[in-house]
Amino acid sequence: MLPGPTRPASAAVLAALAFSASARAEEDLVRGAQAARACMACHAFSPGRHMTGPSLAGVWGRKAGTAEGFVRYSDALKRSGLVWDKRNLDAWLKNPAALVPGNAMGFPGIADTRTRADLVSYLEAVSAGRVTVPDRGLPNLKVVDTASRVTTIRYCGDAYRLTTADQKTHIFWEFNLRFKTDGSADGPPAGEPVLVGTGMQGDRAAVVFARPEEISSFIRRQCP
């Protein structure tokens, strides 16, 4: 039997080791959150909110190519049979093209082993609900101010003239104005397109419609 005074010391050592392990895990998640910022350019973490890529909510344990509501998966990924676990996520983040040749993800991969491990740990924690991710997906275009809600679009020469609900007119060179659609729950109401700035200089923008058929009917060919 160990001498009495040794027992508290052993307990203290175990407690210290447990605290150290917990601290390391927290550090891993902090670094993982930092690494996940790069993902947010193309992915949201809110369930059902799909962007260029599918939502990463609940990705842990999900079969590749099966996020509900996302329809732009490559055939290669859908046929892969992969399940997103620790090993497969690490391999995917290291080199998507090597893991699934012919997939549609335009991402070269993360070379650093520790960064991948931290990101994988973070994705597991998010899926398990241990970490909450701020919603940084697309804006809610159903709730915009009058300066963003488009009422008329006129086209003349090489320019579009947009009038917004605050009675102001914005002129864009035709090459600098894009027309997009967002049919999601956060897209604009039918018949109420929204002006969204896309350039640092204020000379580029997009008009987002609820449905594609609204675009041609909304634009009038009319010169001042």
Question: Where in the chain are the domains?
Answer: 10-127, 150-221
29 and 122 in contact (C-beta within 8 Å)?
A: yes
Q: Which stretches in the chain have pLDDT values below 70?
A: 1-27, 134-138, 199-201
* Closest to 110 measured CA to CA, from 100, 120, 124, 102: 120
Question: Which residue's structure tokens are 């799909």?
Answer: 50
- CATH 3.40.190.10, domain 10-127, yes or no: no
The predicted-structure confidence for 11-44, as pLDDT tens digits, reads as follows 554 444 444 444 455 667 888 888 888 888 788 8
The predicted pLDDT at position 14 comes to 44
Q: What is the pLDDT at residue 138? A: 64
pLDDT for the residue 116:
93
Q: How do beta strands 205-209 and 177-181 pair?
A: parallel
Structure confidence at residue 16 (pLDDT): 44
Bridge partners (DSSP) of residue 220 are: 154
pLDDT of residue 6: 47
Phi, psi of 8 (to 5 degrees): -60, -35
Tokens 């175990």 belong to: 14
Q: What is the pLDDT of residue 11?
A: 56
Tell me which amino acid residue 165 is: A
